[in-house]
Amino acid sequence: MSRFVIVGLACLAGAMCARAQVIMFVSEYGTGNLRGYDFSGPSGTPVGLPPAYTPVGGVGTGADGMVTDTAGRLYVNRGDGTIYRRSLDGMTFSIFASIGVPDLLDLTRDATHLYAARYGHPTLYRVSLADASWTVLPGPTGLDTSDGVRIGPDGRLYAVDSTDGQIFAYDLSTATWATFLSGPPTPGIASQVEFGADGRVFLSRTVGSDARVYSFTLNTPGVWSSGLNPSSETLIGSLGAGSATGIRIGPDGRLYANNFAAGEVWRSDVGITSMQSSPYVTGVSYPGSIFFAPIPEPGAAALLLMAAGGFVLAARRGRLG
């Protein structure tokens, strides 16, 4: 194959990759599906996904946390204690790890491991990206019911206590826990934590029967070890009657939040000072988590192979120099 053929294929592959569309994935705990949405408009527009996403791995319930690895493969954990990984072409999901405990929630990662919470227990799980082996990571004193987990800007692992809204931080290098938020002033349960580019920390909470999103600031700006200032608690907005679960800041600088019980996704303004007055997406079956990632283009590989075949055939017939 001549260098012209190679260059042509590389350009074609580059063009296909450049067209990859970043979408908002929402996991459905009720069906095991992932839903995809174009978040560029005033309301979320559904995006068609390959069959493997509906439901993920053929498992009909419990899709929750999501994260991608450096290769762009999407991982999804499930309420039955399994973690599924998408193939590179986006056409299939297969089991990556099986922990075998119920109520596995949320998912995050660092360079070497995945981390998941187990609802109703003060424990987290650490799963090797290299070989899928896993270990139990005991939570600190005071962590009653783990829920949301997230690697923070400082590289620590943050865990939300659903029972009372406390947040704990785990230093992965020293294997030590610290209290990040001792307890929000407003009583209620909590779900997930998210970190803003401006240093604010967001927390999804259910207060009474109202799903809400709050923000907090650090005791000392820029110093994560100083923890959050409880008196900085600010109500960003209510999602209405129901229960708050997953939150995520999108590439557009808005915060997206799930109302689990109502089957809705809500969106904030740019700058995250308030939530919009009505749901951004409706009709989701118990939305668990939110994640933003490029949608795979299953046809791209086939098109590239077809193009490659055409180039090679043409080269063999002397049509290319």
Closest by CA to 40, choosing from 19, 21, 60, 14, is 21
Judge if 47 and 169 occupy the same domain: yes
- For 232-245, the pLDDT digits (tens) are 999 999 999 999 99
Residue 101 has pLDDT above 50, yes or no: yes
Residue 96 has pLDDT above 60, yes or no: yes
Mean pLDDT of 203-213: 97
- For 107-165, the pLDDT digits (tens) are 999 999 999 999 989 999 999 999 999 999 999 989 999 999 999 999 999 999 999 99
pTM: 0.87
Judge if 189 and 167 occupy the same domain: yes
Class of residue 211 by CB neighbours under 10 A (exposed 0-12, middle 13-18, buried 19+) = buried
Class of residue 269 by CB neighbours under 10 A (exposed 0-12, middle 13-18, buried 19+) = middle
Residue 306 confidence (pLDDT): 36
Number of domains in the chain: 2
Residue 297 confidence (pLDDT): 60
The residue count of the chain comes to: 321
Rounded to whole angstroms, the Cα distance separating 111 from 290 reads 21
Q: Are strands 82-86 and 146-151 parallel, antiparallel or unpaired?
A: unpaired
Judge if 180 and 42 occupy the same domain: yes
Judge if 308 and 204 occupy the same domain: no
Judge if 13 and 28 occupy the same domain: no
Asked if 162 and 204 count as a contact pair (C-beta separation under 8 A), the reply is: no
- 95 φψ region: left (φ > 0), alpha (ψ -120 to 50), beta (else): beta
Residues of the domain holding 264: 20-296
Judge if 59 and 147 occupy the same domain: yes
Judge if 224 and 97 occupy the same domain: yes
Residue 59 has pLDDT above 90, yes or no: yes
Asked if 82 and 95 count as a contact pair (C-beta separation under 8 A), the reply is: yes
Interacting residues of 238 by C-beta distance below 8 A, sequence separation 6+: 210, 211, 212, 275
Tell me the CATH number at 155. Answer: 2.120.10.30
Judge if 110 and 83 occupy the same domain: yes
Judge if 302 and 291 occupy the same domain: no
Residue 4 confidence (pLDDT): 38
Provide the mean pLDDT of the chain. 88
Rounded to whole angstroms, the Cα distance separating 77 from 56 reads 10
Judge if 53 and 68 occupy the same domain: yes
Judge if 131 and 273 occupy the same domain: yes
